[in-house]
Amino acid sequence: MTTTLSISEAAATYGTAVADLQQPLILQQQGQPLAVMVSFEEYQHWRALAADEAQRRIAGWRALEDLLTELHRRPSDYTAEQIEAEISAARVEVRKARDARRRGH
């Protein structure tokens, strides 16, 4: 949920640094980072990136479904169960690689 404050309300609450958001403003509570205030332009940029990522993810799943459909149509020596097992194993490998990238390995 997004909360909207006027600059004067935010400045009264968070200090005058709110009026100049050339750089992100990190808000702390008891010495720990709690939130980040950014310019509206930066916020819009991040929202657009998130929307693009969601669309890419949806497109990727659709492409995978199309590939599965095509694979099931082709004559093969493999059974449907063997194909599904291979796909499941590949998904596990992709998830592990993605998780490793996120952890910086």
End-to-end CA distance of the chain: 33
Report the pLDDT value the prediction gives residue 48, as an integer from 0 to 100.
95
Q: Is-contact 83 76, C-beta < 8 A?
A: yes
- Residue 7 is predicted with a pLDDT of 65
Residue 74 confidence (pLDDT) = 81
List per-residue pLDDT tens for the chain, 105 residues long: 566 666 667 667 666 555 566 778 777 778 877 888 888 899 999 999 999 999 999 999 999 999 888 877 888 788 889 989 999 999 999 999 999 988 886
pLDDT, averaged across the chain: 83
CB 22 within 8 A of CB 14: no
How high is the pLDDT of residue 3? 64
